[in-house]
């Protein structure tokens, strides 16, 4: 079984963890109402996706 020969130093552990931060989600602007929305999802404000109504909002 492949096994690490030495324990990683605190420094090396922390260096690896420097890449673990989460990025804020990317947002697009709705072309219909100008609201911010998550890409590849219908706009939560007006229910539009790909320039047509896809959600039935009240
Ligand atoms: Zn919208």
Q: How far is the CA of 23 from the centre of ligand 1 (A)?
A: 24
Terminus-to-terminus CA distance in the chain, angstroms? 60
Q: Tally Cβ neighbours within 10 Å of residue 10.
A: 8
Q: What is the pLDDT of residue 54?
A: 73
* 18 secondary structure, DSSP code: T
Q: How far is the CA of 39 from the centre of ligand 1 (A)?
A: 12
pLDDT per position as a tens digit, 10-49: 999 999 999 999 998 888 888 888 888 898 888 888 888 8
Q: What is the pLDDT of residue 58?
A: 67
pTM of the complete model:
0.52
Q: How far is the CA of 26 from the centre of ligand 1 (A)?
A: 16
């Amino acid at each position: 079984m492949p096994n690490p020969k030495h324990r990683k130093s605190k420094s090396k552990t922390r260096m690896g963890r420097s890449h673990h931060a989460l990025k804020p989600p990317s947002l697009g602007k709705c072309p219909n109402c100008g609201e911010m929305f998550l890409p590849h999802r219908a706009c939560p404000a007006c229910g539009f996706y790909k320039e047509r109504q896809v959600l039935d909002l009240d």
